[in-house]
Amino acid sequence: RMPGYMDSNLEYWKSEGQSFLRRLSRWVDLLDPLSLLASDAEIKNARLLLESKEGSSPNTKVKDALKLSLSSVHPDTGSVIPLLFRPPAFLPIAAPLVIATMLPHRGIKPALFWQFLCQSYSAGFNYANRNATASKNDKMSLKQLLLIVGSVSYSACAGAVPQFMMKHYGLRNQAVQTFFRTVLPVPLFAFLGAFNVMIVRGEEFENGIEVFDANGNVVGVSQKVGLKAVGETAVSRALLIGTTAAVPNLLISFIQRRRFIQRSPLVLAPLRHIATAFVLGLMIPVSFSLFPHVGKVQKANLEEEFQTDTQLYYHRGL
C-alpha cells in the first residue's frame, strides 16, 4: 500500500465490515479453501485489477479479485500471506491438530508433541496475520523470536497438564478423569489460545500501531489502540478454542446415554472427532467476525496527541 494511507483491503472492511452479520457473511465466502489454489501471480494480478479503473465496476471478475485480495494479501505490507497461514487454510490445517490435541493420550510425549504442533501453527498464523505496522522493519526481532518460542513451549507444556496429572498421579476415579479430560481442557485451551495471541503480537502494544482518520490517512501511532486490537483478537481466539473444546464434550456426554450408543461404544470416538471439526468449522467465521477487522476508536480512549479527531480507525489484525 502507499505509505501514509489505508490499504484497499482495509478500505473495504472500513466501509462494508461494521455489521457483525455482514462480516460473518463475508468471512464464510472468504474461507473457501479453493482460494488456496491461486498462484502468487494470480493474486498480484487481482490486486492490480482492483487498483485499476476497472476495479470500481462491480462485475464478477472484480468480485473474484476482491475475494482473492481479502483472503490472501496482508493489508499492512501488501505482500501475499504464506500459503499455510492464509485464512482459508486455517480450518484444513487446524482441524486435525485440534482433534489430535484433544485425544485422550495414554502418555505424556504424544500429548506434548501434538500440543507443540498446534501451538506452533497458531503462533505462525497469529504472526502472519498481525498488524505489521508495529514492526520497525519486515524482519522479526530476536526478542520477538525468543518470546514466540517461549510461548509455544510454555503453551505446549501447559496444554499437556491434564494428561500429566492423570499419568503421574495414577488417577483412576471416573469423576476425576472426567474432570481432567472434559472439564479442565475447556478453560485451559481457551486461555492458551488468548495467551498465544498476546505474546506473539506483543509488539503491537509495546510499539503501537498506525491509526487512520476518516479519510484513510495515517495520523499517528498508538500503543493504547495496539492493546485494544490485540485484546480483541485474543478474546475472539479464546471463544474459538473454548467453544470447540466444550461443545463436542457436551454433545458426547448427551449421546453416550442413549441405548444405541451403549450397544456400540466404538462409534463415540469418530463422533467426537467429527463434532470437533464441525464446531471448529462453524466457529472460525464467527470468531473472525466477532470484532470489526477495521475498528473504530473514540478520542477519549487515545493518547493526548490524537485529541483533535473525534473518531479514528485501526487495523485489528486476525
* pLDDT at 114 exceeding the cut of 90: yes
Task: Compute the Cα dihedral for 125, 129, 134, 137 and give only its sign.
Answer: positive
pLDDT of residue 103: 84
For the residues of the chain, what is the DSSP string, one character each? --TTB--HHHHHHHHH-SSHHHHHHHHHHHT-GGGGGS-HHHHHHHHHHHHSGGGGS--HHHHHHHHHHHHHB-TTT-PBPPGGGSGGGHHHHHHHHHHHHTS--SSHHHHHHHHHHHHHHHHHHHHHTS-GGGSSSSSPPHHHHHHHHHHHHHHHHHHTHHHHHHHHTT---HHHHHIIIIITHHHHHHHHHHHHHHHHTTHHHHH-EEEE-TTSBEEEEEHHHHHHHHHHHHHHHHHHHHHHHHHHHHHHHHHTTSHHHHH-GGGHHHHHHHHHHHHHHHHHHHHHHSS-SEEEEEGGGS-GGGTT-SEEEEE---
d(CA 17, CA 19): 6
Q: What was the pLDDT predicted at 55?
A: 58
Percent of the chain with pLDDT strictly greater than 90: 49
pLDDT score of 106 more than 80? no
Instruction: Tell me the C-alpha distance between 310 and 7, whole Å.
Output: 22
Per DSSP bridges, beta strands 294-298 and 311-315 are: antiparallel
Q: DSSP characters for 200-223?
A: HTTHHHHH-EEEE-TTSBEEEEEH
257 CB burial (10 A radius; 0-12, 13-18, 19+) = exposed
Residue 205 CA to residue 229 CA, distance in Å, equals 9
Closest Cα partner for 9 from 32, 26, 28?
Answer: 26
Give dist(CA 189, CA 111) in Å, integer: 13
Report pLDDT digits (tens) over 238-294: 999 999 999 998 888 788 777 766 676 677 778 888 999 999 999 999 999 999 999
Residue type, 193: G
478453560: which residue's cell? 187
Cα–Cα dist 300/3, whole Å: 27
This prediction's pTM: 0.91
pLDDT of residue 249: 85
Across 32-41, 114-123, 291-300, least confident range: 291-300
pLDDT reading at 2 higher than 60: no
Residue type, 22: R
pLDDT for res 86: 95
Whether 116 contacts 84, CB under 8 Å: no
pLDDT tens digits along 190-244: 999 999 999 999 999 888 899 988 888 888 888 999 999 999 999 999 999 999 9
Long-range CB contacts for residues 114-117, cutoff 8 Å, separation at least 24: 115/155, 115/156, 115/157, 115/159, 115/160, 116/152, 116/153, 116/156
What confidence category does residue 300 fall into, taking pLDDT thresholds of 50, 70 and 90? confident
Write down the mean pLDDT value for the chain.
87
